[in-house]
Structure 1
């Protein structure tokens, strides 16, 4: 070997004959982390509280109250999704929200309702469910604004 020739670089990764592994499940198929259960329970309780507050606010201040209640619901669902980092973070508060709204909108055994059948209540329930589905089925989480994605910066 002359001084001008360089030895070939050896491959740094060892070759194995192992079969390729199956990809890790993602989304709702991923295994549940037991440390996150208190987070999901807390989000469900906060979702129930937002559902009760939204039902009261939208009935008291109809046009603006409905928008305020839907905005609060959307903020909770999206915040839960970002906080948990997965779809279950949006579904947990949505479940608590839906249970509280259905209980408040359902009739009592005596035959009367907590709230009457008004257009605002129907719009609040359908709009809240639509917002929950949108937040739970977003393909990716929003990226932080400061990250440009360029390496080395």
Structure 2
């Protein structure tokens, strides 16, 4: 468990880090969406061309992008934008082409890439962040305890 805390950090460590400015975060969200789309296309071809090693490489690229988006923006939306771009392009690649060709066919490696990438994206989107909420809104102040029934 200590290895994971050293690698990923704890919630207290993430909340102690400074948030990037809002403009930088918005630009990062757009860039992460486009990078998610690019990783989706590259991963679809790599997992087909290189067999078992290709699936591992494609999933490692997905995990790096999703976790990098989470850490770069400091919000869960950073991983979500990358996951959204990744999944949107995969949905297009899953459709058959008019010529009858398929980019992602019904093979175990394609299914592993599809489901493994989705699980990695969801896991990265639930890791501790610098913000208590999705869009980087600061967490509300904790309520004070009422003593003696006085309100």
Give the TM-score taking structure 1 as reference length: 0.66
The corresponding residue for 2:87 is 98
1:123-134 alignment, distance < 5 Å: 123-134=112-123
Deviation of 1:139 after TM superposition, in Å, equals 2.8
What residue ranges of structure 1 are gaps of 5+ in the alignment?
A: 1-32, 142-153
Q: Distance in 1 between matches of 2:57 and 2:128?
A: 26
Structure showing the higher helix proportion among its residues:
2
Match of 1:113 among 94, 102, 108: 102
* Structure with bigger RCO (C-alpha 8 Å, 6+ apart): 2
User: Offset of 1:37 from its aligned partner?
Assistant: 1.9
**Aligned partners of 1:140, 1:43: CA distance in 2, in Å?**
17
Q: What SS does the corresponding residue of 2:103 show, helix, strand or coil?
A: coil
Question: C-alpha separation between the residues in 2 aligned to 1:139 and 1:36?
Answer: 17
Whether 1:54 and 2:49 are equivalent positions in the alignment is no
SS in 2 for 1:93: helix
Q: How far is 1:36 from its partner?
A: 2.5
- Cα deviation code 1:69-97 (max 9, x no counterpart): 00010000000000000101101111011
Where does residue 58 of structure 2 map in the other structure?
69
Count, aligned residues: 111
> Within the alignment, does 1:135 sit opposite 2:128 as a pair?
no
Name whichever of 105-114 and 120-129 sits farther off: 105-114
Gaps of 5+ in 2: 1-21, 131-151
TM-score, normalisation: structure 2: 0.67
Q: CA RMSD in A?
A: 2.1
Aligned pair 1:80/2:73, yes or no?
no
